[in-house]
Amino acid sequence: MIFYFSGTGNSRGIAEIVAGRLGDRAVNMIGADPLAYEGKDAYLGFVFPVYAYAAPEVMLKFAGRIAPGNAYTFAIATFSNVTGEALEHFSSVLPLRSGYGIKMPDNYPVLNKILDTKESTLQKLREAKPRLEYVIGRLLAKAEEIDTLRGEDAHRRTYELAPQFNERMRVTGPFWVEKDRCVGCGACEKMCPAGAIRLREGYPVWEKPDCYACMACLNRCPKEAIQFGEYSKGKFRYFFKGFDTERYFKEDT
């Protein structure tokens, strides 16, 4: 069984490809019951985006309630820059036999750093494909290792900055909608894994004060009507559409 958490599809896409190659199943951990996991599988995998140098808190809480049995446990962290010690930290919650980072396009166009261009997004997708093949080979070999790009100051970033992010940065206050673009389709409400959005009079309202900060609503709104503060205005949106880069950033996608 491979559990994933994903806002903009990088982790979901990778979980599904890996599951296909391992002859296993990819399951969205949102809505799954960790206590129902029976621990009888050959593989127990977790795929998630790195948020502030750690796994998303919701994924850590889920993993902490799973009894892994005798499965070969692994995690894949998708990230846009560096992972810090996200995989080591995850392993302290659910002991991993292996952990891999796969660099993927950035989905957080709300800061003035770690921002991909359209060109670097496509380049990352081209480089991620062989990296994924390599990782699948290591999983089939049931390797025992952690292999990722930790970056500088990794330990402090994971153990000091991730808690600060979870406490202060996962707020919904800065989200707003450009009403002249929004068509009231309700996709944002449906896709929000935190159940934080409700449509009121045809427009999204962020009803909960905090969320997972997954950026699904902002990146996947078909009209690019959702903004986070001012910085996201005019920035291109990204979500995973497969490794075939011809499909990205065209009018019809």
Ligand X SMILES: Cc1cc2nc3c(=O)[nH]c(=O)nc-3n(C[C@H](O)[C@H](O)[C@H](O)COP(=O)(O)O)c2cc1C
- Residues lying near ligand X in the complex (CB under 6 A) are found at 6-12, 49-53, 78-82, 104, 106-108, 213-215, 240
Which helix (H) or strand (E) segment holds residue 83: the answer is none
For ligand SF4, give the closer residue by CB, 14 or 192: 192
Percent helix, strand, coil in the chain, to 5, is 35, 20, 50
State yes or no: residue 209 binds ligand SF4 (CB under 6 A): no
Which residue intervals of the chain are DSSP H helices? Answer: 10-22, 57-63, 86-93, 118-140, 154-156, 162-164, 187-191, 216-220
For ligand X, give the closer residue by CB, 69 or 229: 229
Q: What are phi and psi of 49, to 5 degrees?
A: -80, 150
**What span, in angstroms and rounded, lies between the C-alpha atoms of 71 and 28?**
19
State yes or no: residue 162 binds ligand SF4 (CB under 6 A): no
Q: Angle of helix 10-22 relative to helix 118-140, nearest 10 degrees?
A: 30
* DSSP letter (8 states) at residue 110: T
Per-residue tokens: 143: 């390797």
**Cα 236 to chain centroid, rounded:** 18
State yes or no: residue 221 binds ligand SF4 (CB under 6 A): yes
Choose the contact partner of 81 out of ligand X, ligand SF4, none; CB within 5 to 8 A by kind. ligand X
Residues 71-130 that bind ligand SF4 (CB under 6 A): none
Choose the contact partner of 108 out of ligand X, ligand SF4, none; CB within 5 to 8 A by kind. ligand X
Q: Which of 46, 212, 238, 248 binds ligand SF4 (CB under 6 A)?
A: 212
For ligand X, give the closer residue by CB, 183 or 197: 197
Taking contact as CB under 6 A, which single stretch among the options 26-34, 58-66, 82-90, 190-198 is the one that binds ligand SF4? 190-198
Residue type, 7: G
For ligand X, give the closer residue by CB, 3 or 108: 108
State yes or no: residue 30 binds ligand SF4 (CB under 6 A): no
**What span, in angstroms and rounded, lies between the C-alpha atoms of 41 and 46?**
13
Instruction: Scan for tokens 């880069």, then name that residue.
Output: 245
CB of 178 to ligand SF4, least distance (A): 8
State yes or no: residue 52 binds ligand SF4 (CB under 6 A): no
Instruction: Scan for tokens 């795929």, then name that residue.
Output: 47
Number of residues in contact with ligand SF4 under rule CB under 6 A: 29
Q: Which of 83, 100, 194, 240 binds ligand SF4 (CB under 6 A)?
A: 194
Per-residue tokens: 236: 């291109």
State yes or no: residue 223 binds ligand SF4 (CB under 6 A): yes
Footprint of ligand SF4 (CB under 6 A): 7, 172, 177, 182-188, 192-194, 196-197, 204, 206, 211-217, 221-223, 225-226
